[in-house]
């Protein structure tokens, strides 16, 4: 059995392109565009100290992005 290293980490703004491409492959082009828009909004809010109620996490396996988790909470 091969050894792999996996991590669930907070998503960063630099992950947007890779993660939205994953959404596009899993769903469709419209969902990819919507994901990009909402993620850009999220990180824009963060850069101004505003809480938009979202938390994004990515699962990395051997340094490669493999999955996305998005959580919403009431603010």
3-state secondary structure (DSSP) of residue 61: strand
The residue that leads in pLDDT, 66 or 33, is 33
Q: Examine residue 1 and state whether it is found in any structural domain, yes or no.
A: no
In a domain, 64, yes or no: yes
Whether 53 maps to a domain, the answer reads yes
| pLDDT digit string, tens, across residues 13-59 | 999 999 999 999 999 999 999 999 999 999 999 999 999 999 999 99
pLDDT: which is higher, 1 or 33: 33
Q: What order do you get walking across the sheet with 6-10 strand by strand? A: 6-10, 54-61, 64-72
pLDDT in the model for residue 10? 94
d(CA 65, CA 19): 8
13 part of a folded domain: yes
Count of structural domains within the chain: 1
* Domain encompassing residue 61: 6-72
**Mean pLDDT confidence for 54-67:** 91
Reply yes or no on whether the pLDDT at 75 is more than 90.
no
Q: What is the distance between the alpha carbons of residues 49 and 75, in angstroms, rounded to a whole number?
A: 14
């Amino acid at each position: 059995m091969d050894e792999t290293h996996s991590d669930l980490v907070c998503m960063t703004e630099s992950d947007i392109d890779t993660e939205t491409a994953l959404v596009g492959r899993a769903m469709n082009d419209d969902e990819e565009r919507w994901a990009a828009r909402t993620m850009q909004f999220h990180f824009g809010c963060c850069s101004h100290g505003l809480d938009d109620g979202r938390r994004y996490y990515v699962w990395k396996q051997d340094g490669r992005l493999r999955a996305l988790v998005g959580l919403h909470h009431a603010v």
